[in-house]
Structure 1
Amino acid sequence: MTTDSLEHLGKTLVIAPHPDDEVLGCGGTMARLADCGQEVHVGVVTKGYEPAFSSDSVERVRAELAEAHKILGVAQCHFLDLPAAALDTLAGAELNAAIGELVQQIAPDTLFLPFLGDIHRDHQLIFTAGLVAARPRGSETPRRIYTYETLSETNWAAPGVTEAFIPNVYFDIGQTIERKLKAFARFESQVKPFPDERSLRTIEALATVRGSTVFLPCAEAFMLLREIC
């Protein structure tokens, strides 16, 4: 499925397990949404804590994140500050409550979540908590829910054994791919040289492949989980 306008997505919330996941998965789409006047929010669920992560590295990544979001036109970023790479040490109710409160606060029309089949356990747990938060129990439930793919997480699992990412929605990012690449380039601590998957060349290559799938120059691909019309 391709779409000519993204105005119908309305206010949007992208849930990112870690800083930069949202740019990798949705950066071009986020820029398109901002360009057409829609409010784009990002919820970064985790924060690195010592001794696994130095406070200097955490502050550096957050500064990089702020610069990337300026490029994409993000309205606001929300930090939940749960422990990175350690969400499985928390009670499920704690994670559910944190994401649930964010979804309730923003009341998005559209919700983007990481993919269940990602190899990173944080991504898996956040996917489930996001669906709990988006249960249709009121008039302000998200009208549509998508999952996005994250290079070095989504395709490093074991399709056929674990959940496979099979996109059914493609958003044209031909006009915003350069901003996506520029935004990710701001993550100097995360960008890697090609052929690493977190290289700018690989990010552009994936956008090209996803675009060619639906006869577009560049696209981001998603799985639509639910849409209420």
Structure 2
Amino acid sequence: MSDAMALDFRALPLRSASYAASLGSTAVIAPHPDDESLGCGGLLALLARAGLPVWCVLVSDGTMSHPNSRKFPAPQRQAIREQELRAALAELGVGPQMLLPLGLPDGAVPTPDTPAGAAAVQRLTAFFRRTRPATVLVPWRRDPHPDHRATSLLVRASLAELTQPPRLIEYLVWAWERATPADLPQSGEATGWRLAIEPVLAQKTRAIAAHRSQLAPGVFDDDPTGFLLAESMLAHFRQPYEAYVEVTH
């Protein structure tokens, strides 16, 4: 991938929707509820349509989008966001039995060099050994959010424990808007491609909409400083394609 191409994900080669089935059984690792729908909801829907198993691992508890809410204490925020995730997965054709919540702290997902991170690595390793996915989807390793970067480290540490690790594909969330040049894939580091998702774009749109607490006017209405997805951000995920990166070394 050249530097010029790395800076413009829209210029990556486009693969047809039928390519999705070649990934086989797939596990998506989502740092927060909504990352799965934003970054790869179309791919997940195409996999489900093809009759392939799709698992989702939710890494954080999702409570820090509105940390100052008193009406909705943290346990209630966690429950609401997990319920939204289950609704989103249902829109994509993924059943509730395919979800594994890790419950790590939102905004402070640990890295593998900490006790909590090492424990998370072991849980992920056990999950991968039990489910044996052919492909794992994880946020781009330098996606501009600390939880996304920590999630990438946890997953890669876990895959290193496996004798035959699955294919690792990285999806984009905040890299669309917030990436600096240093955050982007560098020349020779990775290859990238886009996947056509027009056949399931309506499903992806409904899945994103299921995350009501993250969309205006929101659900947690007593924290005006809380996070909501901006329209400019959402526009990236209304395109009839998704972009993916695979590191070559």
TM-score in terms of structure 1 length: 0.80
Query: Match of 2:223?
Result: none
* Matches of 1:185 and 1:207, distance apart in 2: 12
Q: Does 1:128 align with 2:153?
A: yes
Query: Match of 1:56?
Result: 76
Larger relative CO (CA 8 A, sep 6+): 1 or 2? 2
- Cα RMSD (Å): 2.9
What is the CA distance between 1:158 and its match in structure 2? 4.3
Query: Match of 1:214?
Result: none
Please say if residues 59 and 104 of structure 2, whose CA atoms lie closer than 8 Å, have aligned partners that are also in contact: yes
Q: Count residues with an aligned counterpart.
A: 212
Question: Which structure is higher in helix share?
Answer: 2
Q: Deviations over 1:4-33 (max 9, x none)?
A: 332221110000011111110000110001
DSSP-derived class of the 1:28 partner = helix
Query: Match of 1:41?
Result: 55
Q: Does 1:108 align with 2:133?
A: yes
After superposition, residues 43-192 of structure 1 pair within 5 angstroms as 43-48=57-62, 52=67, 54-75=74-95, 76-88=98-110, 90-91=114-115, 92-135=117-160, 137-139=162-164, 141-142=165-166, 144-150=167-173, 153-164=174-185, 168-192=192-216
For structure 1, the residue ranges without an aligned partner over 5 or more in a row are: 209-217
Please say if residues 170 and 244 of structure 2, whose CA atoms lie closer than 8 Å, have aligned partners that are also in contact: yes
Query: Match of 1:11?
Result: 25
What is the CA distance between 1:86 and its match in structure 2? 1.5
**Identity in percent:** 27
* Matches of 1:43 and 1:156, distance apart in 2: 24
What is the CA distance between 1:34 and its match in structure 2? 0.4
For structure 2, the residue ranges without an aligned partner over 5 or more in a row are: 1-12, 68-72, 218-226
What is the CA distance between 1:134 and its match in structure 2? 1.9
What is the CA distance between 1:94 and its match in structure 2? 2.4
* Matches of 1:56 and 1:80, distance apart in 2: 17
AA aligned to 2:76 is D
Q: After alignment, is 73-82 or 13-22 more displaced?
A: 73-82
TM-score in terms of structure 2 length: 0.74
Q: Does 1:28 align with 2:52?
A: no
DSSP-derived class of the 2:99 partner = strand
Change in CA separation of 1:124 and 1:205 when aligned onto 2, cut-off 3 Å: closer
In the TM superposition, structure 1's runs of 4+ consecutive aligned residues that sit over 6 Å from their partners are none
Q: Deviations over 1:27-72 (max 9, x none)?
A: 0110001001111110001115699462222111111111111110
